[in-house]
Structure 1
């Protein structure tokens, strides 16, 4: 409930930031990076109180990533006729990740003897790789200009 509650705000405020000030690619790259950092910090959760803090932050960041991802395809193509194809390609990759993520995490948990440490590192590293890919798309679109709205 906390992840979804915080995710509600994560779906609203970063979208406004992207639309009004910074651009979709900039905000998505940052929030994917923040989500990865939150996943890495999960390893340090040792009490119920710190779990609540982790869940609140992760819910906010993950909500932002979920809502901004579907708006990404119009940002990446100049030809509107290719928009459906690009969105289909993106969602195919997301579907493949969703299909394989759970069995991989299960195997990593089993390999760690019931500990979640390998699965946590795998998930955080995958999010970090996604943040780098999004940053690469941003650089490809605007160049190395730091203040560019993309």
Structure 2
């Protein structure tokens, strides 16, 4: 996916952003000083028969306990979505997973689970489909996009 598409999405929703260019990131660990604001990691999981896909937005330093998450949301056997399916649903690659990709989930197969310890009244960093740039946007603006595209989301104790 082309990073220009991210800017088109932000323009469509009249969302302001602050852009940070940085080295290619495969993990935020040790790299939080590269950008401002609340930093998160995005993970995409599926249930056993892929009837439901979950886009997880979690505070960067937290470890995702998949067993705890399964109990919290009433699921069993969650596992990571394959690279091919990730691109099919969200038009992004593993190294640059972005919630902006949810605009491509036209069948609303993906449900967003947001770590309830995150501050929805501040900014968060998102990749524009590439992992050498982070855009800080208001979390509430992201939720506005979800509402517009009918993406279901909920706050979860992760």
| Larger proportion of helix | 1
Greater relative contact order structure (CA < 8 Å, 6+ sep): 1
Tell me if both proteins adopt one fold, taking TM over 0.5 as the criterion.
no
If the TM-score is normalised by the length of the shorter chain, which range does it land in?
under 0.3
